Chains A and B, each alone.
Chain A
């Protein structure tokens, strides 16, 4: 059973950089796509970015200038960097495995980590 676990600081100051890591266990990070999804308090889900394990990332156009996703196959981890954060970036951040066509699904999810942007 594949399991994902997010880690990183729960509080980030405005204008600083948010950095999160997702550790994958119970399966290999190779051969798959990996994604970051966020959910502001009381709101819906938003895809931030995803990447194949070898690279070729996709970024949400509304965030592309501030986001980087990277995959570390040696550590079975992938990471998210979001720069110049504001209060609008306060959200629960989920990592998830994305299964791409012909089967399309975000099939395994982490439990989520709340990141608050505040001074």
Chain B
């Protein structure tokens, strides 16, 4: 069974740039996996940030961007703010109606 991989944690300085990745335990991520990204602050429901690799959801600040980097999907935060300190999850479409969540990345802004 293919696993969706994410970094467990990342640290970024205020105003800095961080790139989180979303990969596969076997194989490469492409746009055909329709990568999407979700932000979750403690005690809150997830919020959709990015879908279809690089489309920002309504109301999402421009400092969030999605892409394919090498063989992984990527979420880049440019100009990180204190409010960005939370968990980020990716979801990949694996075909045959199967969607799989990654385990999430905890981002610390300090």
Interface residues of A (CB under 8 A from B): 37, 44-47, 50, 58, 94, 98-99, 101-107, 109-112
Report B85-99 residues with CB < 8 Å from chain A CB.
89, 91, 93, 97-99
Q: A44-B103, A45-B104, A101-B93 are in contact. Are A106 and B98 (CB under 8 A)?
A: no
Q: Which residues of chain B are within 8 angstroms of A94 by Cβ–Cβ distance?
A: 45-46
7 A-B Cβ contacts within 8 A? A44-B103, A47-B100, A101-B34, A106-B38, A106-B48, A109-B46, A111-B45
Quick one: closest B residue to A4, CB to CB?
B45
A110 contacts B102, CB within 8 Å?
Answer: no
Report Cα–Cα, A112/B45, bound state, in Å. Answer: 6
A45 contacts B52, CB within 8 Å?
Answer: no
B45 contacts A106, CB within 8 Å?
Answer: no
Q: Which residues of chain A are within 8 angstroms of B48 by Cβ–Cβ distance?
A: 105-107, 109
Report Cα–Cα, A47/B52, bound state, in Å. Answer: 18
A105 contacts B101, CB within 8 Å?
Answer: no
Partner of A44, one of B51, B52, B89: B89
Report Cα–Cα, A68/B55, bound state, in Å. Answer: 32
Interface SS of chain B: strand
Report Cα–Cα, A45/B90, bound state, in Å. Answer: 10
A107 contacts B57, CB within 8 Å?
Answer: yes
B52 contacts A58, CB within 8 Å?
Answer: no
Query: CB-defined interface of B19-58 with A at 8 Å, one 1/0 digit per residue?
Result: 0000000000000001010101000111110011001010
Q: Which residues of chain B are within 8 angstroms of A98 by Cβ–Cβ distance?
A: 99
Other contacts beyond A44-B101, A94-B46: 14, CB < 8 A: A37-B101, A44-B89, A44-B103, A44-B104, A45-B38, A45-B101, A47-B99, A47-B100, A101-B93, A104-B34, A105-B36, A106-B48, A110-B45, A112-B45
Quick one: closest A residue to B97, CB to CB?
A58
Query: CB-defined interface of B67-83 with A at 8 Å, one 1/0 digit per residue?
Result: 00000000000000000
Q: Which residues of chain A are within 8 angstroms of B44 by Cβ–Cβ distance?
A: 111
A104 contacts B93, CB within 8 Å?
Answer: yes
Q: Which residues of chain A are within 8 angstroms of B45 by Cβ–Cβ distance?
A: 94, 109-112
